[in-house]
Amino acid sequence: MVPWGIYATAMLKITMCVIVFPFSLRGCTDIICCVLFIVVILGYMAVGILAWLYGDPRHVLYPRNSTGMFCGIGLNKAQPSVFYFDILKCVTSINIMAATLNGLQCPTTQVDSHWFKNMDFSGWLKHFFFSPCLPACLSVGIYHCWWEYDNYRKSTVSITDIGFTTDFKVYLQVKETWLAFLIILSVVEGILLLTLIFLRTRILIAIALIQESSKAVSHMMSTLFYPLITFVLLVVCVAYWGITALYLATSGIPVYKVVALNSTQDNCGQISSNETCDPQVNYLWCRSARCIFIKYNNEGLLQRNLFNLQIYNGVAFLWCVNFVIAMGQCSLAGAFASYYWALNKPSDIPTFPLSQAFIRTIRYHVGSLAFGALILTLIQIIRIILEYLDHKTRAAQNPCSRFLMCCLKCCFWCLEKFIKFLNRNAYIMIAVYGKNFCVSAKNAFMLLMRNIVRVVVLDKVTDLLLFFGKMLVVGGVGVLAFFFFSGRIRLPSSNFRTEMLNYYWMPIIVVVVGAYLIAHGFFSVYSMCVDTLFLCFLEDLERHDGTMQKPYYMSKNLMKILKKKNRGPKNGEGKD
């Protein structure tokens, strides 16, 4: 005979799972956009196949000699460079005109050469100066400003007597400067105190959510490695776009035409200028004739549509990149939402939550993610077009048109930021409730607007903590790299010698940039966890009241801050 309490608790869990986190009631969302995305991907693959079949990247990777053979490969593998036999012909007026009319090719014999293989061109490398801004305790700053002001109070020198000077130390010796600093710091201190007084509860909620996010990540350590999957997929997208663009750009067959010079002196009557020719044929009877590369053949169907195919390549690339990012956000949101909606943590957390969330996203919500990615892609295309128009018309712009163009670019930049913010929260709602993109975006936006103060406080507190976290990681790695590459730290088992480095700042910069990218990837997971738990927390507050039928799923710390509690059975009180 099953006790009534256990039976009621089990039925409660099943009911809340269906109502709050309805994995079993999901269906495919935004099917039309899903089909459109699949069609675009298939077309993208077809474009890549066509480019691979008709393209020849050797045209841009390797130079050609006068016979049309590539330098650096095949028979000319040992001669990677082109040497112009008579470079003076490139600067004569008649040959400049011929080059202008015939593909900008220098009409002199070109031979393969390895003379320049070992030449090294050194450049200037600018030093990077890192000026970390360390926030002081404001009250100490106010006291110091008052102390300096009191010291210079009896001074007869005024800031008007000094005027403008490049020696800024002089300004620190007048009382007006320290008085201004004192007023500014006092105002900032007052704003912070008022913020802490009136927004104390919301700041505590933000801190509690961040602490809860740390617990969620600790229970699902696999989420920290998901950015590697996103990174690999983005590298694949970039590589596919770059290779396709390269093959498309070289998909035409090279066209060569004859340029005959000094035809009256040589026996060149059989050769007519500008007729097509074969660069591997030697014109022994006309030594001044040259077979010059003009262009790539653009008369075929593929060649006539190269520009359109390149546009398609770029648009599909942007859509794929935004889709990959959206897939990562929705998968992480699903994993972290399963943590929040577990009544008893961590026992009720699903097994392999990230894998389940990823499979659920791919199975049901490809269309919704593609929809959101498409909206963002269209905004980015408009921004690219504006940048292109601004670049092309820069010389002809007057101040009014330049101002309007700047306003347009600023507006669409803000619109892109807003769409990214809206998409991010829409993906969280998709992961939680499984609705389509429009409904999820609307619900997320209205939920955030109803709690706008909490949103602002949480956003700023989270941004501040994540910024300090990134700077701590990057700064620590940078300091260690500096001491290692400068020779101040030596590993006993390492054969590496700092004397081998001509300029040790270069590896330090590479290490710092790599550390920032890695830290950004890991902290992006943490940021996604905070945003997901925050939306779930807001939903929890609006949908539940702490009764047995509608218990709170938030942690005890959050319930203590909000002075709420569950009035159901003991195992429904929400454990940490």
pLDDT of residue 36: 95
88-113 pLDDT per residue, tens: 555 443 343 343 334 445 555 555 54
Stretch 421-428: mean pLDDT: 94
491-507 pLDDT per residue, tens: 665 555 555 667 777 88
Give the DSSP per-residue string, 284-300.
Answer: TT-TTEEEEEEEE---S
Model confidence at 554, pLDDT cuts 50, 70, 90, reads: confident
Model confidence at 334, pLDDT cuts 50, 70, 90, reads: very high
How many residues are recorded in the chain?
576
Q: Is residue 461 a contact partner of residue 366, using CB atoms and an 8 Å limit?
A: no
Is pLDDT above 90 for 328?
yes
70-74, 339-343, 367-371, 507-511: range with lowest mean pLDDT:
70-74
Stretch 34-58: mean pLDDT: 89
Is pLDDT above 60 for 120?
no
Stretch 214-231: mean pLDDT: 89
Give the DSSP per-residue string, 381-434.
Answer: HHHHHHHHHHHHTTTT--HHHHHHHHHHHHHHHHHHHHHHHHHHHHHHHHHHH-
49-74 pLDDT per residue, tens: 988 888 777 766 666 665 556 676 76
Distance of CA 181 to the CA centre of its chain: 38
Q: Is residue 385 a contact partner of residue 335, using CB atoms and an 8 Å limit?
A: no
Quickly count helices (H) and strands (E) in the chain.
18, 4
449 vs 457, more confident: 449
Beta bridge partners of 81: 113
Is pLDDT above 50 for 128?
no
Give the DSSP per-residue string, 286-349.
Answer: -TTEEEEEEEE---SHHHHTHHHHHHHHHHHHHHHHHHHHHHHHHHHHHHHHHHHT-SBTTTTS
pLDDT of residue 42: 95
Most confident stretch, 15-29, 162-176, 362-376? 362-376
Percent of the chain with pLDDT over 70: 69
Is pLDDT above 50 for 570?
no
Is pLDDT above 90 for 373?
yes
Model confidence at 438, pLDDT cuts 50, 70, 90, reads: very high
Is pLDDT above 80 for 385?
yes
